[in-house]
Chain A
Amino acid sequence: GAGVSQSPSNKVTEKGKDVELRCDPISGHTALYWYRQSLGQGLEFLIYFQGNSAPDKSGLPSDRFSAERTGGSVSTLTIQRTQQEDSAVYLCASSLVRREQYFGPGTRLTVT
């Protein structure tokens, strides 16, 4: 079956611009997660959704980062006023409740 998909695969943006990253989870997976992978910090948890609710936003690095999920399916991660330190690969994952997480291919964000 179809796995987790993410778009765009690559995004280059200028410092100060806003960006939106999209994640389509595996059909039927109620849990959705965002992670960030960067050279200096490794793989970091950002936010967790159960359905459309986000009970854990503790990993969002600043108030410039926000995320939403609609219809218990698609999620969008928004970064406002991007900074160079936001450059990273943003990974989305989904799972059934209390089961293993399956990852998408990621979005590589470059802020120039």
Chain B
Amino acid sequence: AQSVTQPDIHITVSEGASLELRCNYSYGATPYLFWYVQSPGQGLQLLLKYFSGDTLVQGIKGFEAEFKRSQSSFNLRKPSVHWSDAAEYFCAVVPGGSNYKLTFGKGTLLTVNP
């Protein structure tokens, strides 16, 4: 079955430290890939997306993600975390060529210590 795995349920980092959130997917072909962020009581905000082309994609708020086909991964990174980055992060995929029915990972809750 098609699935998205975010192995880390909760990550704590210090402000100013680097961050990497992991995402692995299980699909037959390369899907479209997304990262969304959700602050408490808010909807989902799109951070970045990958459809094709350059495997390193830049997003908003200083985030980037790298698609690695050989590892079926799409990890999210930020070189220096700010306290305002504390939120829940969701990786999501759709089958390539049919952009609907997002399948989400379970999410990673990020806590930022001062």
Answer whether residue B77 sits at the interface, using C-beta atoms and an 8 A cutoff.
Answer: no
With an 8 Å Cβ cutoff, the count of chain B residues facing the other chain is 21
B46 at interface (Cβ–Cβ under 8 A)?
yes
Partner among B100, B106, B107 whose Cβ is within 8 Å of the Cβ of A33: B100
**Once the chains bind, are A103 and B44 in contact (CB under 8 Å)?**
yes
Interface centre among B36, B44, B97, B107, by most A CB within 10 Å?
B44
Contact mask B33-53 → A, CB, 8 Å, 1/0? Answer: 010100000111110010000
Residues of B within 8 A of A102 (CB): 46
Give the A interface residue count (CB, 8 A): 23
CB atoms of B99 and A98 under 8 A apart = yes
Cβ contact within 8 Å between A105 and B49: no
* 3 nearest A-B pairs in the assembled complex, by CB-CB distance: A43-B104, A98-B99, A103-B44
Chain B residues at the A interface, C-beta cutoff of 8 Å:
34, 36, 42-46, 49, 90, 92, 97-107
A-B contact pairs, 7 of them (CB 8 A): A33-B101, A35-B102, A43-B102, A93-B102, A101-B34, A101-B99, A103-B43
